[in-house]
Amino acid sequence: MSYTDLGRATGLSTSAVHQRVKRLEQRGLILGYGATVNYAEIGLPLTAFIAIRPIDPSAPDDCPEQLQDMPEIESCWSVAGEESYVLKVRSTSPAALEVLLGRIRAAANVSTRTTIVLSTYYENRPVSEHQV
């Protein structure tokens, strides 16, 4: 949305909206901007979540570093529970996902538990005023 459109929606001038947005960016509340991508259209129709757990719990906890150069991994979250991390991945096919799982296991010395997404009803929803 443009600053002008934001101004119309909020009853503020364009310059006031611009100043407020800049302050939110400076305070670290707005970290960046991005596009909403149709992954199926770019050849990545399969989304999966991969929970990983180290095979040797006494080994260094460096999974994020070991996996950071795999472009199929969109997100990596440290989690509480049986697993140590959950990865969100995009893949071209089940066969490509299987290859990726092997690469993840080898690179980070982990066991995996995979959930394949069948449908996405909503994703990356904006924060509402009721949440703030």
Q: What is the pLDDT along the chain (132 residues), one digit of tens a residue?
A: 899 998 999 999 999 999 999 999 999 999 998 888 999 999 999 999 999 999 998 999 999 999 999 999 999 999 999 999 999 999 999 999 999 999 999 999 999 999 999 999 999 888 776 766
The one-letter code for the residue type at 44 is L
Burial of 125 (0-12, 13-18, 19+ CB in 10 A): exposed
Which residue matches tokens 């305070």? 27
Greatest Cα-to-Cα distance within the chain, rounded to the nearest angstrom: 58
Q: What is the pLDDT of residue 132?
A: 64
Q: What is the DSSP letter of 125?
A: P
Using CA atoms, how far apart are residues 125 and 42, in angstroms rounded to an integer?
Answer: 21
Using CA atoms, how far apart are residues 24 and 5, in angstroms rounded to an integer?
Answer: 18
Q: What is the pLDDT of residue 1?
A: 82
Q: What is the pLDDT of residue 124?
A: 85
Q: How many CB atoms lie within 10 A of CB 13?
A: 12
Q: What is the pLDDT of residue 126?
A: 80
Comparing C-alpha atoms, which of 62, 61, 47, 55 is closest to residue 112? 55
